[in-house]
Amino acid sequence: MPFIRDESDFEFDMDAAEEEIEAARAALPFGYLTPQQYGAKRLSFDPKALTGVAAAAMATVLATGFMQFRVNYDGGHDEGFAHGDAFIGKDGKIESAKAVAARLGSKDSAALRAAVTGPQASHWDDAASYYAKLSDTDVVSMAFDELADALASALLGDGYGTGEYSMYGAFIADLITGQMIDDPRAEQPPTSTFT
């Protein structure tokens, strides 16, 4: 279940924000999940529905023998962000996403760069020129983060709605079955200071 950061040093008019949020909710054609509903919901994504660089990143990961992907997400006070944390193999072996990207960089970056072309291949504008400027390792890391974003969007909805509430959390996605499991051990991201 998502957590809410303690931002006690951040000055914010909560009463005005709650009125604005309630007005926005009333205008929407769907309802928000309560924490209890969220926790009880069976969460999954369709691995075959992934496209572009997210699909290519998943294929790259599966080719290494990893079956699960642990993802952290954070509101960042503006919009939702997701980052690949670690991969888990069938044998239970865990390796950080950063270490996997460093190991695969020179071998898999060309295929991931190629996956960035075409419509809806990436959530970044002008992704092909952006990816062209990255090192091989950074290409793989960015592709892992795009996969993480696609999975977080499937779990929490596009944009996640995490920004306004400063929410954070983590989940583990099974890349074969599409099942997503909330990780209640999610660590709070560093608190930002606002002036």
pLDDT of residue 105: 87
How is the chain split among helix, strand and coil, in percent rounded to 5? Answer: 40, 20, 40
User: Beta strands 3-4 and 167-174: pairing type?
Assistant: antiparallel
Both tokens assigned to 100: 């996997």
Look up residue 110 and give its amino acid: A
What pLDDT is recorded for position 39?
Answer: 47
Rounded to two decimals, the pTM is: 0.76
pLDDT of the residue at 155: 83
Given this model, what pLDDT does residue 106 score?
A: 86
Provide the residue-wise pLDDT of the chain in tens; the chain has 195 residues. Answer: 555 555 554 454 555 556 655 665 555 544 544 444 444 445 788 999 899 999 999 999 999 999 999 999 887 656 778 899 999 999 999 999 999 999 998 889 999 998 988 767 887 778 888 888 999 999 999 999 999 999 988 887 776 655 555 678 899 999 999 999 888 888 877 655 433
What three-state secondary structure class fits 56?
helix
Radius of gyration (C-alpha) of the chain in whole angstroms: 18
Q: Tell me the backbone φ, ψ of residue 169, rounded to 5 degrees.
A: 180, -170
- Residue 102's nearest CA partner among 87, 120, 123, 115 is 87
Among candidate residues 174, 176, 181, 152, the one with its CA nearest the CA of residue 68: 174
Q: Which two tokens stand for residue 43?
A: 């969460």
Residues 6+ apart with CB under 8 A from 137: 101, 102, 105, 109
What are the E-state strand segments in 50-163? 66-74, 81-89, 94-96
